A and B are shown apart, each in its own frame.
Chain A
Amino acid sequence: MNYLDVLSTKPDMLSPGISTCGGCAMEIALRRVLQIAGPNTVFSIPPGCAAGAGTMGWNFTNGVRIPVHISLLPNMGSMMTGVSQMYQRRGREEVNIIAFAGDGASADCGFQALSGAAERGERMLYICYDNEGYMNTGFQRSSTTTMGSLTSTTPAGSVTHGKAQAQKQLAFIMAMHRVEYVATLSPAYMKDFVDKVEKGLAASKRGFAFLHVYTPCPTGWHFAQDMAIQVARAGVKANITPLFEVEGGVWRQTVKNSRPIPVAEYAKLMKKYEGIDEETLARWQKSVDADADTLARLTK
Chain B
Amino acid sequence: MKALAITGNISAALGCSLARPDLIAAYPITPQSSVVEHLALLIAEGKLDSRIVHVESEHSAMSVLSGASLAGGRTFTATSSQGLALMYEPYFRVSTLRLPVIMPIACREMTSPSSIWCGQQDAMSVREAGWIQVYVENNQEILDMVIQGYKLAEDPDILLPMNICYDGFYLSHLVERVELPEQSQVDSFLPPFKQYDAKLDPDDPMAVDPLTEGSILMQYRMSHLAAMKRALTRVEEIDREYAQVFGRSYGGLVEGYRMEDAEIALVTIGSMTGTAREAIDQARSNGVRAGLVKVRFMRPFPAEALRNILAGVKAWAVVDRSVSFGWNCGPLFVETEAAICGSDLARNSSYFSAIGGLGGTDITLDLLLGLLKKVTGNKRQNGKMETVWLDENFLGRVE
Q: Which residues of A contact B (CB under 8 A)?
A: 39-42, 52, 56-62, 64-72, 74-75, 77-90, 95, 112-113, 115-116, 119-120
Contact = CB atoms under 8 A, between A and B. Distances in A.
Contact of B63 (A39, A62, A68, A79): A79
Nearest to A87: B71
Contacts, number: 150
B64 A85 contact: yes
Contacts of A39: 202, 205
A237 B258 CA distance: 83
Give chain B's interface secondary structure class: mixed
A159 to B, nearest CB: 36
Nearest to B208: A69
Nearest to B215: A59
Interface of B: 22-23, 25, 51, 53-57, 59-61, 63-73, 75, 89-90, 93, 199-202, 204-213, 216
A41 B202 contact: yes
A222 B63 CA distance: 36
B77 to A, nearest CB: 11
Contacts of A64: 207
Contact of B202 (A40, A79, A80, A82): A40
Nearest to B68: A82
Given A56-B209, A57-B211, A81-B53, A95 B67 contact: no
Nearest to B209: A70
A115 to B, nearest CB: 7
A83 B210 contact: no
A64 B212 CA distance: 17
Contacts of B89: 72, 74-75
A112 B205 CA distance: 29
A57 B69 contact: no
Given A69-B200, A89-B23, A75 B205 contact: no
A115 B56 contact: yes
Contacts of B67: 78-86
Contacts of A120: 53-54
Contacts of A85: 23, 51, 53, 64, 67-68, 73
Given A57-B210, A85-B23, A89-B51, A78 B60 contact: yes
Contacts of A79: 63-64, 66-67, 90
B93 A72 contact: yes
A91 to B, nearest CB: 13
A66 B60 contact: no
B85 to A, nearest CB: 14
A121 to B, nearest CB: 11
A209 to B, nearest CB: 17
Given A56-B210, A78-B67, A95 B202 contact: yes
Residue from the set A41, A58, A89 with the largest chain B CB neighbour count within 10 Å? A89
A88 B67 CA distance: 13
B202 A42 contact: yes
10 contacts: A59-B216, A67-B199, A78-B59, A82-B66, A86-B71, A89-B73, A95-B202, A112-B57, A113-B57, A116-B56
A67 B210 contact: no
A74 to B, nearest CB: 7
Q: Which of A75, A77, A115 has the most CB of B within 10 A?
A: A75
A67 B64 contact: no
A195 B24 CA distance: 36
Contacts of B68: 82-83, 85-86
Contacts of B216: 59
A60 B212 CA distance: 8
